[in-house]
Structure 1
Amino acid sequence: MKLLTPEIAARLAANARARLDALECGTREPDPKPVVRFFNPVGAATWLATEIDTDGILFGLADLGFGCPESGSFSAAELEAVRLPYGLGIERDLHFEATHPLSVYAEAARTAGSIIVGERRLRAAARRLSGRG
């Protein structure tokens, strides 16, 4: 599967430009919502990406499933090159729609020790706050 569509790549690049513009102007860096979510279909690894540079390096939140999610950079090409059992590879979550800025996902993931558990807790909290849960 091609992990980045032209539309997703354009949104990621726009976030990178906005961050660079903020740095040049001396203003606060934006805290965008993740644009895309990648996952290992046979493991616990998960990535949330907010931007991409001209070399194909993504920035976001990475969780390799060891209990310590971290913000940082990762290569789109390397994610696409991963070969897993049964002929599988890293996949893009086709139904992912971010509801929070990256900093919220990062804090939830660090507290929970996992992006997946952090997302589950954020959804549960949202349901409780809306009176639906």
Structure 2
Amino acid sequence: MILLTDDLRDRLLANGGQCDVDHVPMVKFFNPVGGGTWLATELDADGDTLFGLADLGFGSPELGSFSLSELGLVRLPFGMAIERDILFEAAFPLSVYAEAARQAGSIVESERLLQAAAAALRERR
């Protein structure tokens, strides 16, 4: 599977050129036989360094950078590899996904949990 389409690459690069913006995640990668999940909002000009939320399945998701080429090199059991969730459509900015992940201990897509995280962030402001 191609991890990034040309359209996704262009949109992520455009986001990478904008500073101090809480972008909506553009792409979700996942380990089909394990707990790893990555949400990416930006791509650096180097074409490899993504920024977003990473969850390796150990209960401590983190915001930061990760390598597209390294994701592509991962070899899993049964000849599988890291995949892109072709049905993923984010509804909230990355800060909401990060807050919900902090509360849950993993990246979540539950509308209820994301709404609660968004409300918690609003209360803090």
**Same fold at TM > 0.5:** yes
State the alpha-carbon separation in 1 of the partners of residues 69 and 113 from structure 2. 35
Structure 1 residues not aligned, in runs of 5+: 20-28, 128-133
Q: Which structure has the larger Rg over C-alpha atoms?
A: 1
Q: Deviation string for 1:19-72 (max 9, x for gaps)?
A: 2xxxxxxxxx11010000000000011000000112210000000000000000
Aligned-partner residue type, residue 109 of structure 2:
E
Per-residue deviation at 1:126? 7.2
State the alpha-carbon separation in 2 of the partners of residues 126 and 52 from structure 1. 24
Structure 2 residues not aligned, in runs of 5+: 116-125
- Aligned partner (choices 39, 43, 46) of residue 30 of structure 2: 39
Aligned-partner residue type, residue 112 of structure 2:
A
| Aligned-partner SS, 2:8 | helix
TM-score, normalised via structure 1 length: 0.82
Identity within the alignment, %: 61
Per-residue deviation at 1:99? 0.1
1:89-104 to 2 correspondences below 5 Å: 89-104=81-96
Number of paired residues? 114
Moved beyond 3 Å, runs of 4+: none
The 8 Å contact of residues 100 and 113 in structure 2, kept in 1 or not, is answered as no
| Aligned-partner SS, 2:3 | coil
Distance 1:106 1:39, change over 3 A: same
- Aligned partner (choices 33, 46, 49) of residue 40 of structure 2: 49
1:10 maps to which residue? 10
State the alpha-carbon separation in 1 of the partners of residues 113 and 78 from structure 2. 36
RMSD: 1.3
Aligned-partner residue type, residue 28 of structure 2:
R
Higher helix proportion (structure 1 or 2)? 1
